[in-house]
Amino acid sequence: MRKELHLAGLLGAVLLAVSASGQTAPNPATPAVPILQGSALPMYPPIAKAAHVTGKVVVRVTVKDGLMVQTDVLSKPAVASGGRLLESPTVENLKTWRFAADVTGAFTVTYTYEISGTETEEPTNAKVEMLPSLDVMITARPVKPTVIYQKHSSPSADTSPHEAGHAQGTSAP
């Protein structure tokens, strides 16, 4: 009897977990996201990565006959926080997207740029994830800043006539 109750409890917990996982019947009113057939690999812009610029760029894309024909940026990080550094590479990458020739329509895509993990000595490739919703997540690891100090040398004796010419407003031959 105790085994049967335990088994029934486990079965109930599994059923509850499956029903709570958000699996519902598809909503016919929601348009289906087209299947992406090809695109260039999105990159984390190097200058944005170096400046630790993160954020989301939301773009409304219009596709006609399988090709991207229009992009409208709906939201992006503020200009003061480097939003322009993420906007242009996002739109350029979207221009490379290709769908089946019969795909025509518009939908919204979100590119999320994140920097996380431990600092590395050398730059590494960003992790790129494309979700079934066609949203893109690009995660880069921070790179430890490098400072190189160089000893500045003083002018040697043979450049003195040249330097003296600059002081007098003439140029040395």
The strand order across the sheet containing 67-75 reads 36-38, 98-99, 67-75, 55-64, 105-115, 136-140, 127-130
Domain residue spans of the chain: 32-140
99, 63 Cβ separation under 8 angstroms: yes
> Could you tell me how far CA 149 lies from the centroid of its own chain?
33
pLDDT at 11: 34
Q: What is the pTM of this model?
A: 0.65
155 confidence band (pLDDT: 50, 70, 90): low
Residue predicted with more confidence, 170 or 44: 44
pLDDT tens per residue across span 33-92? 889 999 999 999 998 998 889 999 999 999 999 999 999 999 988 877 787 899 999 999
Token digits of residue 157 = 């004796």
Q: What share of the chain is helix, strand, coil (3-state, %, to 5)?
A: 30, 25, 45
pLDDT tens per residue across span 91-145? 999 999 999 999 999 999 999 999 998 888 888 889 999 999 999 999 999 888 7
The verdict on domain 32-140 having CATH code 1.20.58.220 is: no
